[in-house]
């Protein structure tokens, strides 16, 4: 994408910022604009170079993820991923800030920087007022503004506490189930779903040796499935559906948003960077804040449908799981997260069935399914 290669299209992936669907595209630099077209040549978007920024610090696989800043804060916007080393090198040589998640500075770039610095200082000065008056209304935007690396730090800290605290609650050995064949099967299923979405998160999924039929997600890509859910599931596509649902919470940043809305930024930052030894208190406060709204649950369901479809997996398993929950437990909030305001299971099953028509496979071979169910040693 040097000056002499303007107009030459290269391969990429595009996400519109509204759904989890990842679309193959062709990208060309035409003058001072990146033009995105689908594989049939239809134009999807035109991104001015001075309105494009990198996403965080770049992906571990070497790809370059870009966003279009539709406002000064860059809170909302589509995503574009380039994977070819040549064009990436040429573009980052031309605009080095892209490799560091920074904006491509235009004529007023430094003025924009100082405006942002001033905004940060002002936020620190009025944080008490934000907690009381602004956070409940602005939680969604603030959650999207928090860097993914910070979310991962929060998720890592909380996941360590989950393993420690929940291990003490187990009737048996407790802790994380680590049978090698089961771990390998779960990793294959997780990677298949993760490949279906253009997401900055690296998903880490573990099974806890606990009886309840449950699963939950922490910010930053950490997902826990309880042994009871694996034992209760009647097919691997039910587990795939639940896993896709929890990944949907991560992708949509529902956990971070819920924490900001209910317990404020201060406790979120404390859980991210606080001193060790306060794990039990931090975990209790954070889990209390992870109460998803009805709308968040339905959005995670819709995201799960998209993930399953794009990964070539059956959607029917998620619907059948909801139907069985309704028949066995009524509408008691006993699955898919620890603390949530769940819509009725029948309503969710109908939504999934309506949106999830189409074929697909179960996601796991018979051998992998048996290995996953025996991951805790039984």
**Nearest partner of 292 among 323, 332, 249, judged by Cα:** 249
Q: 12-24, pLDDT tens digit by residue?
A: 888 877 776 788 8
Reported as a pLDDT band with limits 50, 70 and 90, residue 104 is: very low
Residue matched to tokens 């404020």:
264
For 101, the token pair is 């998640």
Q: Contacts for 57-62 with beta carbons within 8 Å, 24 or more apart?
A: 57/99, 57/100, 57/101, 57/149, 58/99, 58/101, 59/200, 60/202, 62/88
**Token code pair at residue 225:** 């499935």
At 353, the pLDDT band (50, 70, 90 cuts) reads: low
Q: How far apart are CA 216 and CA 201, in angstroms?
A: 16
Domain ranges of the chain: 3-110, 143-373
CA distances from 67 to 60, 87, 154 (A): 17, 17, 24
The domain made up of 3-110 is a member of CATH 2.30.29.30: yes
Q: Which of 196, 203, 257, 251 is nearest to 225 (CA)?
A: 203
pTM summary value: 0.59
Q: Residues 211-257: pLDDT tens digits?
A: 888 899 999 999 999 999 999 999 999 999 999 999 999 999 888 88
Cα separation of the two ends of the chain: 56
């Amino acid at each position: 994408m040097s000056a002499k290669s303007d107009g030459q299209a290269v391969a990429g992936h595009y996400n519109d910022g509204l759904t989890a669907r990842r679309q193959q595209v062709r990208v060309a630099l035409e003058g001072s604009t990146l033009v995105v077209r689908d594989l049939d040549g239809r134009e999807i978007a035109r991104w001015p170079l001075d309105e494009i920024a990198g996403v965080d610090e770049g992906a571990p696989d070497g790809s370059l993820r870009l966003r279009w800043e539709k406002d000064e804060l860059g809170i909302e916007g589509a995503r574009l991923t380039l994977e070819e080393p040549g064009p990436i090198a040429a573009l980052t040589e031309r605009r080095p800030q892209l490799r560091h998640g920074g904006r491509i500075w235009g004529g007023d770039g430094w003025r924009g920087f100082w405006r942002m610095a001033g905004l940060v200082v002002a936020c620190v000065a009025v944080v008490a007022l934000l907690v009381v008056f602004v956070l409940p209304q602005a939680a969604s935007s603030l959650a999207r503004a928090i860097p993914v690396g910070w979310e991962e730090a929060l998720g890592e800290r909380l996941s360590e506490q989950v393993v420690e605290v929940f291990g003490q609650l187990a009737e048996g050995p407790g802790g994380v189930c680590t049978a090698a064949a089961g771990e390998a099967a779960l990793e294959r299923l997780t990677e298949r779903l993760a490949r279906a979405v253009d997401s900055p998160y690296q998903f880490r999924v573990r099974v806890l040796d606990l009886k309840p039929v449950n699963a939950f997600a922490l910010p930053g890509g950490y997902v826990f499935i309880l042994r009871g859910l694996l034992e209760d599931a009647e097919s691997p596509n039910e587990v795939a559906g639940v896993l896709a649902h929890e990944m949907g919470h991560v992708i949509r940043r529902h956990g971070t948003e819920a924490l900001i809305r209910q317990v404020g930024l201060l406790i979120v930052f404390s859980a991210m960077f606080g001193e060790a030894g306060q794990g039990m208190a931090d975990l209790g406060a954070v889990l209390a804040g992870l109460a998803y709204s009805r709308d968040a649950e339905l959005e995670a369901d819709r995201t799960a449908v998209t993930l399953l479809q794009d990964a070539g997996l059956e959607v029917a398993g998620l619907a059948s799981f909801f139907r069985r929950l309704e028949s066995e437990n009524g509408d008691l909030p006993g699955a898919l997260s620890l603390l949530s305001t769940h819509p009725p299971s029948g309503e969710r099953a109908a939504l999934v069935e309506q949106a999830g028509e189409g074929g697909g496979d179960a996601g796991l071979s018979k051998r992998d399914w048996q290995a996953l169910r025996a991951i805790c040693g039984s």
